[in-house]
Structure 1
């Protein structure tokens, strides 16, 4: 190994960065053992505590794992599952989490209305019509319209990524729901932030979990106020109030509310952002009701956050296409499209409720929750039930894919059933009960 391929640095941060650089160059690989603390400290001429701090930074970022007598080793990079349909399978996919294409409004009727003069460099990054509509959309959840500072991004994931980047640095702690939306896990891992899991129950993010995350140094909180993915839970009024009380002691912690289901939700919007909270953002994507390919989200935030986001969305360079913004506004303000979105809301809720009731009658209790999918608790491990379903022709997602704390195997499946016809839904229910409760007949 050349001097270029050895660990260097005299501060904890420099040593940690050196290890990362060696990993990126291929000089270090997964499962390689780093030098013992004493040996590296002597080699670099630094205090042992400096090396201990460097290794701690690397462990917090998931770069290394401590194996006791096995030493400190480069961590295996475990892939994070991706949302969407499964490729190259002959199984019936009931784990996609996708909206029904038949329920997405057809944009062809309004396309002619969105054409106009070209938008040039230096012009406002938000289309005036969309800004006016979105201001009214957020007004019900803000003290006044004067508090609403809007930003448009390329979807909710893009918004969350930019929001975290303008507030955090590498190794900063982020409180995430557990189980968690897959894209949020991706975002935090790729940016090198430290995910702090906060348990989720039927009323949303737990109070004790949030308090523990803040005590652990979380500088940002990403929370889903309704239709949490994957559990379908929504904040109760009592839970939202209790979370606001906890956050009141941390007014400069960035709170991001990802209201991804918004217009499709059957639940009221209950915010955890208190009146005096300094750093906050509410994100609403259009992907669930206008289609994932629309790639557009609107964020309302405090003035400082909005200003920092604006610096990352330069006029004509990294802004969201005005044609796309006009198309979204045209659909959102179109009476026919609004009726179709309302019908989709009813359809998703009804189909999920019917399937949950069928499972409950068959001895597998299930609450429908809110959202595109169901969160089904099963006896034993979810993986064993999913494997049994595969043998019956179904592909389901296990809760293991969505978890941050891997203390025990998951006992939940996430099922997307709203696009099944009555016969297929009944068959899936029978097969699921037979797989989860083999001693009983559906």
Structure 2
């Protein structure tokens, strides 16, 4: 379709109506990937609407993945590019150091716990949270709560099921959400696919920055997602001073929903420091079990203020989407098993030791990497990350560039996120040599 044909096919007088018209053209195949949309001014004049109406419609379509803005190149129909996700690249012969997975040999054996599960069936109308798991969760989460109001526990199908539900009960489409920049892949995906507007908050060695959060609040964000420790991808953890400063900033915004994603929890080498102050009204502390019991254990515990818990309960009632009590009982059996707790502790020590060892290797070769926590390393580079990653591919390695984690993607990243804890000393030495050579090579 040419521009005049597209103009004749769009009739809406509101942003929602324009979205429906353009989306219909794309879904029917009338607009193919790469097709150019009319400029904002042209479409606004044709429809007799304010330019901001068209801007809002185009933005909603872009956030939903239908359109892409090319700056001076205009707005085009998006192609079907794959959204970056965690996990192995199964179709590569390269050695994968970008997967972000835990070591399967350090995950507990489920056999004994499965045999020990009580067999009583759970019926409609029963409490959605297993009593044993709730008692364990309170012992685990309540000591880290800093808000003074009443709170309750919700069990969800993993951290990002919790994230999606928490945001959905608080936000509407096009609401702004403050996200760490760089940001965890699943968080970016959750926010963008739901049609919320991500507002980047820079992260430094002490975590989310104070001025970055202050600016996001000035832009009217209705929710803040923060990783207090082992931030993915940077590995940064909040210092006590930084956490206190962030609490001070949020004190003037008590009804902004604050979600703390403590994904690394039992494996972390750092203390938990909350950005939620005692008088904050809308908050959630989320801890999943994926990193230490296994990604297939799709279960997370969300301790929230009472009002938020009520809203979540409407979306997790029996007969709809409550989390299986079999899974809840399995998590409880594992987390109360002394041998499993020792396995988790050993895994945390292993990840810390292997990452520190690789950082030392790079330091010996002149590439300084700040200390961090988590499954991966955030490696600063003297050259653009995509260039270094391409050079590493020619040496047999598949790495992940920082560009995939960026919310503010106006500049090329100069970081790689590497997963190295599974490498033995020989392979770690080889990767360190290859990485430094790839970073130093002339264009």
Q: Sort the TM-score into its range (normalised by shorter chain).
A: over 0.9
> Which residue pairs with 1:26 in the alignment?
29
For the residues of structure 1 that align with 2:95 and 2:250, how far apart are their CA atoms?
Answer: 43
> Which residue pairs with 2:412 in the alignment?
409
**Which of 119, 122, 125 is the aligned partner of 2:122?**
119
- 1:339–1:146: structure 2 CA closer, same or farther, 3 Å change rule? farther
1:425 aligns with 2:428: yes
> Which residue pairs with 2:305 in the alignment?
302
What is the aligned residue count?
A: 436
> Which residue pairs with 1:94 in the alignment?
97
1:338 aligns with 2:338: no
> Which residue pairs with 2:15 in the alignment?
12
For the residues of structure 1 that align with 2:42 and 2:201, how far apart are their CA atoms?
Answer: 38
Could you list the runs of 5+ residues in structure 2 that have no partner in the other structure? none
What is the deviation of 1:349?
0.5
1:319 aligns with 2:322: yes
> Which residue pairs with 1:59 in the alignment?
59
> Which residue pairs with 1:81 in the alignment?
84
- 1:115–1:25: structure 2 CA closer, same or farther, 3 Å change rule? farther
Question: What's the RMSD between the two structures over aligned residues?
Answer: 2.3
What is the deviation of 1:314?
1.9
What's the secondary structure of 1:151's corresponding residue? strand
What is the deviation of 1:31?
3.8
For the residues of structure 2 that align with 1:313 and 1:142, how far apart are their CA atoms?
Answer: 23
- Written as runs of structure 1 = structure 2, the 5 A alignment for 1:360-399 is 360-399=363-402
What is the deviation of 1:320?
0.9
- 1:146–1:185: structure 2 CA closer, same or farther, 3 Å change rule? closer
What is the deviation of 1:142?
1.8
User: Is the Cα contact below 8 Å between 2:165 and 2:312 reproduced in 1?
Assistant: yes
User: Is the Cα contact below 8 Å between 2:148 and 2:279 reproduced in 1?
Assistant: no
Q: Deviations over 1:105-159 (max 9, x none)?
A: 1111121221321111111111100000001111111258983311111100111
1:228 aligns with 2:199: no
For the residues of structure 1 that align with 2:302 and 2:360, how far apart are their CA atoms?
Answer: 36
User: Is the Cα contact below 8 Å between 1:5 and 1:22 reproduced in 2?
Assistant: no
What is the deviation of 1:35?
4.0
What's the secondary structure of 2:198's corresponding residue? strand
User: Is the Cα contact below 8 Å between 1:222 and 1:256 reproduced in 2?
Assistant: yes
Could you list the runs of 5+ residues in structure 1 that have no partner in the other structure? none
What is the deviation of 1:345?
0.7
1:290 aligns with 2:288: no
- 1:18–1:113: structure 2 CA closer, same or farther, 3 Å change rule? same
1:164 aligns with 2:167: yes
For the residues of structure 2 that align with 1:245 and 1:369, how far apart are their CA atoms?
Answer: 25
What is the deviation of 1:71?
5.1
For the residues of structure 2 that align with 1:239 and 1:60, how far apart are their CA atoms?
Answer: 34
> Which residue pairs with 1:248 in the alignment?
251
Give the alignment's TM-score, normalised by structure 1: 0.92
> Which residue pairs with 1:198 in the alignment?
201
What's the secondary structure of 2:286's corresponding residue? strand
- Written as runs of structure 1 = structure 2, the 5 A alignment for 1:257-272 is 257-272=260-275
For the residues of structure 2 that align with 1:184 and 1:68, how far apart are their CA atoms?
Answer: 25
User: Is the Cα contact below 8 Å between 2:15 and 2:56 reproduced in 1?
Assistant: no
> Which residue pairs with 1:154 in the alignment?
157
